[in-house]
Amino acid sequence: MDQEARQPLATEGNAADWFVDRHVRDGRGGSTAFRDADRSLTYAALQRESGRFASGLARAGIGRECRIALVLLDSVDFPVAFWGALRAGVVPVPINTLLPADQTGSILADCRAQLLVVSAPLLPALRPVIAGLPALRHVIVAGGAEGTQFAEFLGDGAGFERPVQAHADEVAFWLYSSGSTSTPKGVRHVHASLRATADTYAAQVLGIQPDDVVFSAAKLFFAYGLGNAMTFPMSVGASSVLLAQRPTPDAVLEVMRTHQPSIFAGVPTLFAGLLAHPATGPGAGSARLRRCISAGEALPRHIGETWSRVVGTDILDGIGSTEMLHIFLSNRPDDVQYGTSGLPVPGYEVRVVTESGTDAAEEEPGELLVRGPSAAEGYWNQRAKSRSTFVGEWTFTGDKYVRQPDGYYRYCGRTDDMFKVSGVWVSPFEVEAALVSHPAVLEAAVVGHPDGDGLTKPRAFIVLKQGWEASAALREELQAHVKERAGPWKYPRWIEALRELPKTATGKIQRFKLREITGG
């Protein structure tokens, strides 16, 4: 084979070839890939700009397989930096922009990032930690007037017209797991996994099309957002709208009205917040809305049903994880069973396993295991955790599930959040779902708590909707409501109203904190 004929094969393993260059090769270079509040970027421009970012990395002396950190608000700079790094064989590590500075500092130290790309508004808080990082050699500021500017950093792209040769099994990027109970772990993902999630969930569940406009309220630093807002639209040459700000219901509705997305991705809390907003009606502001997806936490049935009625589009609830990169168990269009996570995504298999390691019977709770093409390579420098999570072809999720007689899988909580009342397993999620189906309750979190006899009983923390006040009468009403919906022994013996629930930066309720508060 001559050099010409071999070249395409050589770079095919690099995900940048398929997600970026393929579209230009096939005549879609003029299509819009990304839009933010200031700019838009076509596929041809993304190919060019990511090549320039790659040559900037080479000029800065960042070699292959070295890590660079991205602490970026969602904007078109994110895909330029991400694909620019992959193009150069450099490993980008997107970091949650909502973390406190000391935690970001720990992650920067843990991954030994040699270069940091940071959004200007986030830089001041990070300055003190940046000073103490021996591996960090360059700080590139995006969207501001300080330090090395993103635009100044870009080179001429020479040498990176094509992505560097990479193996499909080579580590392409890392993400840090949200760590609701422990410190974040660096999850290493390979080039092939990006395509795997697009070929399975995006193509076969979402049915994404070239003319789709996607808006993900979940940010790009989160695996859920990275797929929704970047790789899924890019898998078919579609476009994505990026929002830099916090996705409040007001900000989200504004994007919906302005950009008329056809696919919208959110988390349950946001769907609940949007439903509580007076402006939410048919299409939630977009006449083109055809699909809504939810992940991150289980979607309470009541929220799904209300959304379908008010907005006119179902919400597809699916469970994914940083370790599996995206959703592997999901509801499907025209086959939505609210209150469940649906069925395995084509290409993935799941098992529910009891504590003794055998497959659970129908309706018997056990830990969910998953096998599929996008599982991570492992955690960075955490051998013991890697070995207990990625066991052969199976990944342990840490989630309790039951398989219903109809084959649908129902979420019961994290393995460590479940508790027994009168010898019967209680899933905090089930009690929470019953609580939020009452008109007074916006959000709820339930933990097990010892009563006067030392027996564990459900204890609830709730956030009330505007216009409601905590009272003994309301408490009794809520207890009766749960008894009726979830079963008589499951009602919360204690209910406390809080202004907000303790949550991780990605919006997951930290039940362990509530257990600490109550000493339960």
Q: Which residues bind ligand 3UK (CB under 6 A)?
A: 177-178, 223-224, 295-298, 317-322, 326-327, 341, 397-399, 411, 414, 506
**DSSP label at 165?**
P
The nearer residue to ligand 3UK, 32 or 178, going by C-beta atoms, is 178
CA–CA dist 517, 41 (Å, integer)? 48
Answer left, alpha or beta for residue 347, where phi above 0 means left and psi between -120 and 50 means alpha.
left
Q: Which residues contact 512 (CB under 8 A, 6 or more apart)?
A: 180, 181, 416
The nearer residue to ligand 3UK, 298 or 447, going by C-beta atoms, is 298
Give the helix/strand (H/E) hosting 10.
helix 3-12
Compute the least distance from the CB of residue 109 to ligand 3UK, in Å.
21
Compute the least distance from the CB of residue 397 to ligand 3UK, in Å.
5
What does DSSP say about strands 327-330 and 343-344: parallel, antiparallel, or unpaired?
antiparallel
Q: b or e along 34-71 (b: 16 or more beta carbons within 10 Å of the residue's beta carbon)?
A: bbbeeeebbbbbbbbbbbbbbbbbbebebeeebbbbbb
**DSSP label at 247?**
-
Answer for the pair 297, 268: CB distance below 8 angstroms, yes or no: yes
The nearer residue to ligand 3UK, 67 or 219, going by C-beta atoms, is 219
Compute the least distance from the CB of residue 296 to ligand 3UK, in Å.
4
Compute the least distance from the CB of residue 302 to ligand 3UK, in Å.
15
**Residue of closest CB approach to ligand 3UK:** 320
The nearer residue to ligand 3UK, 50 or 340, going by C-beta atoms, is 340
Compute the least distance from the CB of residue 225 to ligand 3UK, in Å.
8
The nearer residue to ligand 3UK, 286 or 389, going by C-beta atoms, is 389
Cα→Cα distances 387→189, 347, 369, 377, 382, Å: 16, 23, 14, 11, 9
Q: What sign results for the dihedral spanned by CA atoms 440, 500, 458, 496?
A: negative
The nearer residue to ligand 3UK, 327 or 460, going by C-beta atoms, is 327
Compute the least distance from the CB of residue 164 to ligand 3UK, in Å.
27
Compute the least distance from the CB of residue 375 to ligand 3UK, in Å.
12
The nearer residue to ligand 3UK, 136 or 327, going by C-beta atoms, is 327
